[in-house]
Copies of this chain bind each other. A is one copy, B any other.
Amino acid sequence: MKTQLTGIVPPLVTPLSDRDTLDVPGLERLIEHLIAGGVAGLFILGTTGEGPSLSYRLRRELIERACKLAAGRVPVLAGITDTSFTESINLAVHASKHGCHSVVLAAPYYFPAGQPELIEYLNDLVNELPLPMFLYNMPGLTKVNFEQDVIRAAMQWEKVIGLKDSSCDMIYFHKLLRLTKQRPDWSLLVGPEELTAEAVLLGAHGGVNGGANLHPRLYVDLYEAAVAQDLAKVRLLHSQVIELASRIYAVGKHKSAIIKGIKCSLSLLGICDDVMAEPFHRFNEPEREMIRTHLAELGLL
Contacts and interface: CB of A to CB of B under 8 A. Distances in A.
Interface of A: 19-20, 47, 50, 52-58, 83-87, 90, 107-114, 116-118, 120-121, 124-125, 141, 143, 168-171, 174-175, 177-178, 192, 194-195, 197-198, 201-203, 229, 231, 234-235, 238-239, 242-243, 245-246, 253-256, 277-281
Nearest to A83: B52
Nearest 3 CB-CB pairings of A with B:
A114-B254, A198-B198, A121-B279
Contacts of A197: 198, 202
Contact of A201 (B55, B84, B114, B201): B201
Contact of A198 (B124, B192, B201, B239): B201
Given A47-B110, A52-B110, 5 more contacts: A54-B84, A108-B278, A111-B280, A175-B194, A178-B242
A172 to B, nearest CB: 9
Contact of A178 (B50, B234, B246, B277): B246
A87 B56 contact: yes
B195 A84 contact: no
A278 B198 contact: no
A100 B281 CA distance: 31
Contacts of A281: 117, 120
Contacts of A246: 175, 178
A241 to B, nearest CB: 9
Contact of A121 (B83, B110, B203, B278): B278
B203 A174 contact: no
Given A195-B171, A202-B235, A238-B202, A255 B114 contact: yes
Contacts of A278: 85, 108, 121, 124-125
A254 B20 contact: no
A112 B256 CA distance: 8
A197 B203 CA distance: 12
Nearest to A252: B114
Contacts of A110: 47, 52-53, 109, 141
A107 B141 CA distance: 14
Nearest to A179: B246
A67 to B, nearest CB: 22
Contact of A256 (B50, B52, B111): B111
